[in-house]
Structure 1
Amino acid sequence: MNTRPSTWPASLALLAALLVVWWAISHAGWLSPAFLPTPEATAASLAEGVRGDLLRASLSTAVRVLQGWLLASLAGVALGAAIAGSATLRPWVQPTLEFLRPLPASAVMPLAIALYGLSPAMVLFVIAFGALWPTLLGTVHGITAIEPRLVDVARCLRLSRVAFLWKMGLPHAAPDIVAGLRLSLTVSLIVGTLGEMLASQEGLGLAILLAARAYRASELFACLVLLSLIGLAGHALLVLAERWLLRGRAG
């Protein structure tokens, strides 16, 4: 569900309330600053970091996540359309999909390390694996749920399978595909951060790990803010893309 402008005041009010609670708890001294920094200290670390290492780490994470997400998106839509468009292939592949779908992306990290070592390729592989399933399953669901009368129309027009998928199947499945893309972007960011921690690759994941080990809480929180901003920017772009793709369905 998209956030409407009318909900922005309530969202901003909730965010302000959370910041006030954070400020009050951090200044009350209930927790050590090594574990809970003040908002002011976090803002200072954020301002200092974006002029140095944190900006470079943010760009590395954003590029890596984008690469893995795009790879998974293209593969997910292509494989999903091929599976959904083939009544012969679907019964054979569907059980395998249901078997692999619940497998956490983090569980394949040992396999990825065995294949690629602690390298950027390993992180990219894990991101793509984790982000593949929401898009693939959304594509399959959207195409297989197409109106039967449209299938009859396609038969009457003697459309080929590829033409049917391109002109009817994918447009009909667009809402499910976009929903899968949005979910897969979140998965990509989570798995990418974890992969950077494990493989010691430059990015916000490694920055978070190093800050935690050194008890630099303000820097750690600044990294979390940057991760949230990357996710928010990606979500906003996908919302705009969704509105453009589905503009003909308004009303």
Structure 2
Amino acid sequence: MKARFFWYGASVLFAALIVYVWHLVAQAKLISNVFLPQPERVLASLERGFASGTLSNNFVATMERMFYGWILASITGIGLGAVIGSSRRAQAYISTTLELLRPLPASAVIPVAIALLGLNETAVLTVIAFGAVWPCLLSTLHGFQKVEPRLYEVAQVLGFSRLATAVKIALPSATPDILAGLRISLTSALALSVAGEMLVGVDGLGQTIIIAGRMFRSPDVFAGVILLAVIGMISAAALGLLDRFLLRWKHLQR
């Protein structure tokens, strides 16, 4: 417990040191304030944005977009990964198509999504889901494929159906891998939410940042980036709690 508090305090002090160095560099104008505003100006931008409701609305919009895209990617990825990992026939039919799609960068899918779906929310969610699905799918596939073969033998002896074997045997064994994939997927979902907002033009922190950047309002740019970091921290903390709940047996063994 003491070690945990020590490292937490060290991380807070390190963050404070970064802000202090930032303040000194901006104060000395080693970098033009047009590009590197003082921390006080960024704080003032945050206060104005939340007071007017603009930043709070965009903050919620980006967080919701990230969450919905991530949920869609998670359901699709875990479902496909479980099917492919549990069935050689499914792997033979699906794996070739997946290997063709997997190398495609999500950013390259954005123009296609806009052309097919238009400049709307559906296009952004489609891009987020496409880019965020692969960590979930591959981690689930890896988790199912590394299940101890003897567990499947036990399931056969007990007369489990294929579905019962997947749910009661393979899924619990693959859960650590799936959770690792969900963490990476959530990071991808946040990045793609911002990229989609910038290119499609829907409300969100991505649009706030790109508009402020075009108008050389660097405090607003930094305010948007800070809020994106806050979203990342909240997401990581939420997944950490989910990890501790689902894998509490693993933490008890430590």
Interval of TM-score (by shorter of Structure 1 and Structure 2)? over 0.9
> 1:76 offset after TM fit, Å?
1.0
Structure 2 partner of 1:23: 23
> 1:17 offset after TM fit, Å?
1.7
Structure 1 partner of 2:84: 83
1:132-185 per-residue CA deviation (whole Å, 9 max, x = no partner) reads 110011111001100111111111112111101100111111111111111111
2:74 alignment partner, SS class: helix
The alignment status of 1:182 with 2:163, answered yes or no, reads no
CA distance change for structure 1 residues 105 and 168 in 2, over 3 Å: closer, same or farther? same
**Corresponding residue pairs, total:** 249
- Distance in 2, matches of 1:41 and 1:229, equals 18
- Distance in 2, matches of 1:75 and 1:124, equals 13
The gaps in structure 2 that reach 5 residues or longer are: none
Structure 1: which amino acid aligns with 2:233?
L
The alignment status of 1:211 with 2:221, answered yes or no, reads no
The gaps in structure 1 that reach 5 residues or longer are: none
The alignment status of 1:196 with 2:197, answered yes or no, reads yes
Kindly, what percent of the aligned residue pairs are identical?
46
- Distance in 2, matches of 1:5 and 1:244, equals 21
- Distance in 1, matches of 2:240 and 2:60, equals 22
- Distance in 2, matches of 1:167 and 1:182, equals 23
Structure 2 partner of 1:220: 221
Structure 1 partner of 2:232: 231
> 1:191 offset after TM fit, Å?
0.6
1:121-140 correspondence runs (5 A): 121-140=122-141
User: Post-superposition, which runs of at least 4 consecutive aligned residues in structure 1 deviate over 4 A?
Assistant: 3-6
- Distance in 2, matches of 1:246 and 1:189, equals 25
1:50 alignment partner, SS class: helix
Structure 2 partner of 1:249: 250
The alignment status of 1:99 with 2:105, answered yes or no, reads no
Structure 2 partner of 1:43: 43
Q: TM-score, normalized by length of structure 1?
A: 0.95
Aligned-pair Cα RMSD in Å: 1.4
> 1:114 offset after TM fit, Å?
1.2
- Distance in 2, matches of 1:6 and 1:102, equals 42
